[in-house]
Structure 1
């Protein structure tokens, strides 16, 4: 009844796409802001690559582990809530069925139809518990939730993968005699392309306007990067760094 079956989640379920989008946005802005601050401080391209990769891996591990812990905690809470609800159904089945009947009526279901549905669900305890969890508490059954290790892995890979985009310009051009300004421009273009891709994914996920979502994502990245570049440049001049 209104629940998504475990088999329909697929590799591009809402929770997974959400993790990819937000981890990717965070990593691109973080990585490009670091590049901007280092460039503002006039450090070498090698410094950019080393510090950028170290920062990406460290932050990616932290975010992935944080997602894993958060998902594990959420699933444990759902399991506990389900167990409590199941015990309540076994002890006081009538009031629970009445509450479910009223919930269906509040959704606009006719009394006769709601009574029929509740009568059928009363024969299947597991399905009844899942339905009450979904309808009254907005919780999916634990078996339908994303495995915590998968959530953590997706977050880590998204963070490191998308955050590497701005660093590619410096890493690939490192063996060549390319002016620092050209490398920084290439990093801007790659970061912009990655931000645009994630902005488009965010628009599809949230149902927002595609141009508006892409523009907002690019503005966010540009503002953060400009701030980091300005601070790096000011501190470099203030401390007389070369």
Structure 2
């Protein structure tokens, strides 16, 4: 399995990161992709990648909830890093209107800028969208570049939004512990759109799947999302593992 979205570089893992990595490998995870948040997270992100070469892979981007007064400076830092070395993706980027609607204009600008960079660099994007599907679709349509590809991370929308997201060529849905939540309704949505363009993620330390909901999430728990998806489509866990792993490797240019 590939955990396509995990924050194991955050302070929540400072006490036992090595154990978490060992546990992930024992559970069948063989790569972890890590999205950046903002300037503050770049040092621990890159240190974690360096500590686990060939296992942990860094992305670079500015998260929508980190779009503050200094967003132009933050964006220039991201741009500098993208010019310095290779990253598996531009992320985590997007629009989040759950916590704060007052910066929608700035979030749209930052999102659009990073989408254009991704198209120019032919890098996949990892899109965070929370209560903002219409805004995200509008910005994607503005860029309208066939080179764009990526994933709607932590997808939790309805069937119409899922079909709209998959209407963009080269885009997939990132599925995590939400699909195991009893009343999320996400299982019905995913069942309706089919398994072909799905990828696994944890979003650790957040969104812990059943049966560990309420505890800190970690990459080893990816198997519970895998099992739920396999059951949903009457596939073996091995078949679903192969499908989602192939999708992730193809999108992010990873070796299997």
TM-score by length of 2: 0.19
TM-score by length of 1: 0.20
